[in-house]
Amino acid sequence: MAVEFEVNEREVWDGNYAASQALRQADVDVVVAYPITPSTPIVENYGSYVGNGYIDGEFIMVESEHAAMSGCIGASAAGGRVATATSSQGFALMVEVLYQASGMRLPIVLNVVNRALAAPLNVRGDHADMYLGRDSGWIQMGAFNAQEAYDLALCAFRIAENHSVRLPVMVHQDGFITSHTAQNVYPLSNEAAAKFVGVIDPVDDMLDFSRPVTYGAQTEEDWHFEHKAKQHKAIMDSKPVIDAIFAEFKEISGREYKRVETYDMEDADVCIIGLGTTVETARVAAKELRKEKGIKAGVLAIRCFRPFPYEEVREALEGVKSIAVTDRSSPGGAMGAFYNEVAGAMATSKARPMVTNYIYGLGGRDLSIENVKTILTEQQANVDAGYITTDLQQFTNLRGPHLGFFKTARS
C-alpha cells in the first residue's frame, strides 16, 4: 500500500508539479519517460513519489522519447494506467509512435509542456510541438495555468479510458510561463481525486491470456481506410463524453471547463482567439480596451484543440464582426493552422465575419497587453471600414520592419 501524501486545500504549485500530483492521485501504474526541458520535473516528481512509496507504480527512464512513447504503448496494451510527459524536440522524436498509440486506441495521457522547435535551438514556450501533433489522432486539451494543468490531467484519464473514446489524450501547458511559475492551486483531496478518476477497465488487455490479442496488425488498401475513418469518428464523437466528464468534474471541484471558453463575448464586435497563457493576457487587454476606447472586445479560448470545436466556435462568434486568430507557431508557408480551423468554421456561418491571422510569441517572445490591444484595435478598424484593413497575416512584436502577407481583394 502506498504511503499517504498529504495535500492541503490550497497549495502553491507550478504547472509541472501540479501535473505530477495529478499522476500520483490517478495512481498511474507505469510512467515511461525521457527528460527534456521544460517538462522534466513532471516525470522526476513521479519518480520521487515511487522512490518514497507514495505510489505503487513503476518509473521507467528510457534512452529516448521515441522509446518513452514505445514503452507507454507496450505498457498500456498490457492493461494498466500509463502516462508520460515531454516537450519540443522530444515530442518531435515521439511523433512516429504518437500515431501508433492512437491507431491502437490506447488510453495514454501525455503532458506536453509546449516549447519551440529548433532550429534555432530554443527552450522557451511556443506551440510548434503542439501543432506537430495535430493530425496524430490524439485528443489535445490546453491548460492556461497550473490549476488547469492539474484539473485537465485528471480529466484526461477519464476521457482516454472511457470505453466509447479509447484514445490517447495530451494536456498542454505553456513552457516556463505555466510550467515553472508557482501559483495557487486548489487540489482535490486524494480520496476525491481517486474516486473521480476511478480504476482503469482495460480493453484488449495483453495480460488476459484467456483472450489473446494482436496489436499493430498491418492493413493495406483493403482495410486501412476503414480503420482510420473509424478512428477519426471516435475522436469526433468524443465531444459529448468530454463535456460530460467536465460537468462531473465541476460537480466535485466547482471549476467549470468547456471545450471553448468565452470571456466578454456577449456583445462583442471584435475578438481575439488564442490558447495557453495568452488567454489571460488577452482577457486583461480586452477589458481595458472596453474601458479605454469603448471597443466591444471579447476573448475566445480554445480548450480542446482536437477534436476541434467547429460548431461551438461558430456559435460563440455569432455577431462578432472581425476576428483575430493567433498562432504561436511558425506557419511554414501558409496561414497559421489555428487560423485555418477558425476560418473554416466561420465559412459556414451566415454572417461570414472578417478573420485575420497573427503570428506571435515564437520561442517564448512575450505577448504584452499592449500587443493584444493593438490587435483588437485593428479589428475595430476593420469593422469601421467594412473590410480587412491590414495584411491577412501579420507578425506581432517582431524586431525589424513590419512583416505581413496576403492582402485581401478589398484592401
**Residues in 310-349 at the binding interface with another protein, rule: CB under 8 A:** none
Among 62, 123, 194, 381, binds another protein (CB under 8 A): 62
Please give the Cα distance from 167 to 300 (Å, whole number): 26
Q: How far is C-alpha 53 from the geometric centre of its chain's CA atoms?
A: 31
Please give the Cα distance from 352 to 410 (Å, whole number): 15
Record the cell numbers describing residue 61, joined without a space: 527512464
Q: If binding is defined by CB under 8 A, does position 78 make contact with another protein? A: yes
CA-CA-CA-CA dihedral for 127, 133, 135, 141, to nearest 10: -70
Among 4, 63, 266, 292, binds another protein (CB under 8 A): 63
Q: Which stretch binds another protein (CB under 8 A): 64-72, 169-177, 365-373, 380-388?
A: 64-72
User: Phi/psi of residue 32, each to 5°?
Assistant: -115, 120
Number of residues binding to another protein, judged by CB under 8 A: 45
Least distance from C-beta 76 to another protein, angstroms? 8
Least distance from C-beta 192 to another protein, angstroms? 21
Least distance from C-beta 74 to another protein, angstroms? 3
Please give the Cα distance from 262 to 83 (Å, whole number): 30
Least distance from C-beta 32 to another protein, angstroms? 5
Cα–Cα distances in angstroms (integers) from residue 369 to residues 105, 275, 282, 292, 357, in the given order: 41, 15, 7, 13, 18
**Residues in 224-283 at the binding interface with another protein, rule: CB under 8 A:** 227
Among 120, 214, 332, 350, binds another protein (CB under 8 A): 214
Among 79, 331, 344, 364, binds another protein (CB under 8 A): 79
Among 15, 38, 47, 71, binds another protein (CB under 8 A): 71
**Residues in 12-31 at the binding interface with another protein, rule: CB under 8 A:** 29-30
Residue 406 near residue 391 (C-beta atoms within 8 A) = yes
Among 118, 213, 284, 347, binds another protein (CB under 8 A): 213
Q: If binding is defined by CB under 8 A, does position 110 make contact with another protein? A: no
From residue 123 to residue 162, the character string flagging contacts with another protein as x (rule: CB under 8 A) and all else as - is ----------------------------------------
Among 74, 331, 344, 364, binds another protein (CB under 8 A): 74
Please give the Cα distance from 331 to 277 (Å, whole number): 20
Closer to another protein by Cβ: residue 5 or 215: 215
Record the cell numbers describing residue 308, joined without a space: 476541434
Please give the Cα distance from 314 to 309 (Å, whole number): 9
Which residue in 384, 390, 382, 387 sits closest to 407, CA to CA? 390
Provide the 10 A C-beta neighbour count for residue 404: 15
Provide the 10 A C-beta neighbour count for residue 182: 13
Among 191, 218, 291, 350, binds another protein (CB under 8 A): 218
Query: Largest alpha-carbon pair distance within the chain?
Result: 70
Q: Give 121's DSSP letter.
A: P
**Residues in 165-204 at the binding interface with another protein, rule: CB under 8 A:** 199
Record the cell numbers describing residue 388, joined without a space: 480587412
Binding site for another protein (CB under 8 A): 29-30, 32, 56-58, 60, 62-64, 66-67, 70-80, 82, 96-97, 100, 199, 205-210, 212-220, 223, 227
